[in-house]
Amino acid sequence: MTLQHDLPGLLDELAADHHVGHAPPLDARTLPVELEPRRRPSAPRLLAAAACAALAVGGLVFVGSRDDPDPTTGNAPATDPSDVAGEEAVPYGPLDYATTEQELPMWPEANVSDPPATTSAYGMDLCDSGYGTKILRVDPTSGPSHAYSGTLCVFIDLAEPRVDAVTSCATSTEGFNYARCQRRTDNTDTAGAGSSRQAIADADDIATMRSFPSATAWDQAELFDADVAATSTQPSPEAFSDGAVTVALDAATGDGVAATVEQPGVCFQIQLPGATATGCVGRALLATGLAYGAFQDGDGPIELVGIVPDEVTAIDVDGTTITPTNNVWHYTAESDRPLTITVGSADGRTASTA
Amino acid sequence: MPDDAPVTERFPDPGSFVDFYQHQYEATVRLAGFLSGTRDIAEDLAQEAFLRLEPRFADVENPAAYLRSTVVNLCRNQHRSASRDARRLIKLGPPPSGVSDRAAELDATLRRLPYDERAVVVLRYWLGLTEAEIATHLGCRPGTVKSRSARALNKIRQELP
């Protein structure tokens, strides 16, 4: 008898020992049920199409014009839940969540709060490994937007909080693509709950998302050993600084992290113009050599920051060759030209974004 | 419904939400019990999962899969919260009663596994999901599911008599 053969029976034995009563009645104390008949997923929504099309403009990310204060027009998603027919706002807070789970790719939004609140931070949660490029942005009612794209699972604290902003997130490829978009309206929960809702991208949207130049395929080959020597530079964990960005790396250890990051993993803190990005990356994505993030504050340049394992010795971005320093590389993209990232090892192994 | 029913029977195609809720409740609570490692909060987690599904029930392509993913994520959050607060509910939950020594040992071993490894074992060997389906639920690649499964099985082998 093999363990695999025994496991179903043992698990059934444990499940049978878990005595579960009858399902409680559906009433106001449990679920606000409306006996709506099932229907097929709703038709593609114009909102998603507009948002996705506006996002992909040649380069990695597109940020709304700072001259467009109305988030219901132009490239920004609508702020009023009633603007999206059939969508039902779900209250959360102070962290507002929207997910891309199941029906993918999706374009979820963490909506504005009621009453209006300051969006102080946003990011992606539960998006370990490199399954396509994640795209987030914060569109405030006034002031510059902030956008992020990349494969790193990040949480971004903004240097200048954005008032009553709409946060959107999406993923750029089909398949095993998953992320949860979140927004922190404030740190005290005094602003009350916000809400989130989802819109499903249609075929055109998906094609637009696919056009993002730097998507890392969900089945990207894991070519390299995932060891990152810079995580052993304690007690001074600063791995990289070039005046524009500063990156600190640390091993993804400890109770709160180790169980949630495939080992060996790395946690990072990236200081960049307008924001601080933190997160952790697991073995699988590190092994692709294509763990990176692209940050843009307002209409400034796109700052590309990558974390590579020891075996990666060179990175090519847009024809420029970069040598990593302590497992980190940085490139400032001044143009909207599509960018391709290629990483290589000394023995000739290379990997590129799509 | 027998406990050894295949996953398609544990999570049958739904009709109305009420039917779906009543049919799925028991299996969902048990899944939450496995994944969270504590039966005390399994019903709360299952209720929360149904609560999140209900507004989307008419729209989602596969409510059962959506429900499973929601349970997986809620239990992961519970695991993280418990870790952060050092309450370690996962390791302090009451052991099962009335099961064989081998099943009890498996229960204890599952509680010690990292969350994603535990989830892979439960989704694969209790629900009978494929590696691709598990990858979707956990947000990782099938190859990662395979490696997590191998690591989990190695640990279980070391603990089970």
Q: What is the pLDDT of residues A88-129, one digit of tens each?
A: 444 444 455 555 543 334 555 555 566 667 788 888 765 644
Give the model confidence (pLDDT) of B105-123 as tens digits. Answer: 898 888 878 788 899 999 9
DSSP annotation of A346? T
Tell whether the model's pLDDT for residue A259 goes beyond 60.
yes
Sheet holding A291-297, edge to edge: A90-92, A194-200, A106-110, A166-171, A134-139, A146-150, A291-297, A302-307, A328-333
Tell whether the model's pLDDT for residue B39 goes beyond 80.
no
Radius of gyration of chain A (CA): 21
CB–CB of A310/A286 below 8 Å?
A: no
Give the model confidence (pLDDT) of A188-244 as tens digits. Answer: 445 444 555 556 655 655 554 444 455 666 567 788 998 999 887 655 567 899 989
More reliable by pLDDT, B113 or A327: A327
CA–CA min distance B64, chain A (Å): 11
CA–CA min distance B157, chain A (Å): 7
pLDDT classification of A37: cutoffs 50, 70, 90: very low
Return mean pLDDT, chain B: 77
Structure tokens at A354: 């799509």
Q: Give the Cα separation of A114 and A12 in Å (integer).
A: 46
List, in sequence order, every residue forming a beta bridge with A88; answer none if it has no partner: none
CA–CA min distance B98, chain A (Å): 7
pLDDT given at position B65: 86
Residues in A touching B3 (Cβ below 8 Å):
12, 15-16
Phi and psi at residue A291, to the nearest 5°: -85, 115
- Closest residue in A to B149 (Cα–Cα): A4
| Residue A147 host element (H or E) | strand A146-150
pLDDT given at position A1: 61
CA–CA min distance A254, chain B (Å): 10
* CB of B47 less than 8 A from some CB of A: yes
Structure tokens at A36: 């709506």
* CB of B48 less than 8 A from some CB of A: no
pTM of the model: 0.55
Average pLDDT over residues A327-340: 82
B137-156 residues touching A, CB cutoff 8 A: 139-144, 147-148, 153, 156
First to last CA, chain A: 45
With residues binned 3-state (H G I as helix, E B as strand, rest as coil), the percentages for chain B, rounded to 5, are 75, 0, 25
* CB of A11 less than 8 A from some CB of B: yes
B14, B66, B156 member nearest A3 (Cβ): B156
* CB of A35 less than 8 A from some CB of B: yes
DSSP annotation of A168? E
What is the predicted ipTM? Answer: 0.80
DSSP annotation of A298? T
DSSP annotation of A325? B
Asked whether the CA dihedral B105, B109, B112, B115 is positive or negative, the reply is negative
B26, B60, B103 member nearest A14 (Cβ): B103
DSSP calls for A4-21: HHHHHHHHHHHHHHS---
Sheet holding A320-322, edge to edge: A320-322, A312-317, A341-345, A350-352
* CB of A127 less than 8 A from some CB of B: yes
More reliable by pLDDT, B16 or A177: B16
Residues in B touching A81 (Cβ below 8 Å):
none
Q: Could you tell me which residues come within 8 angstroms of residue A350 by beta carbon, excluding any fewer than 6 positions away?
A: A342, A343, A344
